[in-house]
Amino acid sequence: MILFNEQLKQIGILPVVTADTVENMLRLAETLTANGIPCIEITCRTPSAIDAIKAIKASDVDILLAAGTVTNTKLLAQMATIGVDFVVSPGTTSALLQAATESKLPILPGVSSASDIMLCMDHGIKYMKLFPAGAINALALLKSFYPPFPEAQFCPTGGVNEGNLQAFRQLPNVFCVGGSWLAPEHHIANNEWDIIAQLCQNNRVAT
């Protein structure tokens, strides 16, 4: 069984999506997978998010499925019951990390400081989400984190785009990048799947 972080490292990019309709999320999952990006993070921010996550999980689409914006232990437990591949949080708390450990549900916890990193590593977690990348000068921060935390690996999100994608990918402590530019809300709403397909092909890691 390939661990979620190893799969993300191979794919290189994690599309972060806010669900509008269940039907569109299923079509998006199919489009991503068909165009070399077989993973998706659906943020738990809209009324249709959980239904969309359940629908993708129950479908025959072979995709690495994450639930995003998991900020409390109750939601984490719900995602464990649904059977998502991993959860993503914007921040980090001891309670959330402990709940993830006890449920054996992989988590990509959000960090933005050395203290956050140390807390995660105290729980045996070395793969983390750096957030919000655009607000914390993430490129410089990641470079400064490498000497004291060489084993820590990050997925920067919240400010990563086509303009700075390659700069992040070149850093030794970045195993993946995440963002919404790969599947913008307006393209999803307008059913512009051909445009999303082209974005996937343009941004995927060369193999």
pLDDT in tens, 104-161: 999 999 999 999 999 999 999 999 999 999 999 999 999 999 999 999 999 999 999 9
Mean pLDDT, residues 17-39 = 97
Q: How confident is the model at residue 43 (pLDDT cuts 50, 70, 90)?
A: very high
Q: How confident is the model at residue 206 (pLDDT cuts 50, 70, 90)?
A: low
For the chain, the structural domain boundaries read: 4-200
Q: What integer pLDDT is reported at residue 2 of this predicted model?
A: 76
Residues catalogued as catalytic: 41, 129
Q: Using CA atoms, how far apart are residues 196 and 190, in angstroms rounded to an integer? A: 11
Question: Domain 4-200, CATH 3.20.20.70 — does that match?
Answer: yes
Mean pLDDT for the chain? 96
Question: What's the order of all strands across the beta sheet hosting 39-43?
Answer: 107-108, 86-88, 64-68, 39-43, 13-18, 177-179
